[in-house]
Chains A and B, each alone.
Chain A
């Protein structure tokens, strides 16, 4: 028997709105529990294949587990607990974030922007210098 698909379990929990911190920790705990069950069966003299089958049975169905977790509102994300509020709050938060995006982008790329600004300044000064020389040569030439 193959090992239970713990990654699929994590995905199902997340799709059902379980908060990531609970979903990931719970799956890790269940994976460790399964390993403990397999170790105990092997220690009791069962071959590894039988030990895995037994551990899978003792652990129980993942469907039951997903149902049990899904019925516990307190383990869900804020958006799943208050869906009507989320419909209003998320778009508003996005709108509020729009003006902040350029500022955030500027802070995140500050070194690149500083180099770009310095280059523009140098190019401007050089052009102004050349124009000044031309102007002076016209006036006094």
Chain B
């Protein structure tokens, strides 16, 4: 049976966050700056909206959060878990499948 497609944009913040946290732990503000940098500012979101996604990922075991005192403030750093790596692989696979499908649709002659 063909795998169903996830909602087009709903998994994008999740995918980006997991990808960015693959190599090192980061806190929210750092993650938003990193998203801007790696996407060439192509994706901009209300910055506060990142936190519900981070909390959901933590709740489902993809991330773990740790408080660290830095420069007089307590930062919440997020790190990828083993389960999160698996989730990242699934999301990457989904994304590539959609990307391939859309590219093929764009390259094919119009049926209109």
Does A59 lie at the interface of the complex (its beta carbon under 8 Å from any beta carbon of B)? Answer: yes
Range, interface on chain A: 20 to 34
* Cβ of B55 under 8 Å from chain A: yes
The B contact surface, by secondary structure, is: helix
Q: CA–CA, A64 to B51, complex, Å? A: 12
Are A60 and B46 in touch, CB under 8 angstroms? yes
From known contacts A74-B56, A74-B60, infer whether A33 and B28 are also in contact, taking CB-CB under 8 Å. yes
**Cβ 8 A contact of A32, one of B29, B49, B52:** B29
| A75 adjacent to B76 (CB under 8 Å) | no
Q: What 1/0 flags go to B39-56 for Cβ under 8 Å of A? A: 000000111110110011
> Are A26 and B51 neighbours in the complex by a CB distance under 8 Å?
yes
User: Could you say which residues of chain A place their CB within 8 Å of the CB of B47?
Assistant: 33, 37, 58-60
Q: Is the CB of B76 within 8 A of A72?
A: no
With both chains docked as a complex, state the minimum distance between the C-beta of B48 and any C-beta of chain A, in angstroms.
5
**Digit string of B16-27 for contact with A (CB within 8 Å is 1, else 0)?**
000000000001
- Please tell me if B59 contacts chain A, counting CB pairs below 8 Å: yes
Enumerate chain A interface residues (CB-CB to B < 8 A). 22, 25-26, 28-30, 32-33, 35-37, 58-62, 64-65, 68-69, 72, 74-75
Q: List 9 A-B contacts (CB under 8 A).
A: A30-B51, A32-B75, A33-B28, A33-B48, A33-B51, A59-B47, A65-B48, A65-B49, A72-B52
Q: Which are the 8 A-B pairs with shortest beta-carbon distances?
A: A60-B46, A36-B29, A69-B52, A74-B59, A65-B48, A68-B52, A59-B48, A26-B51
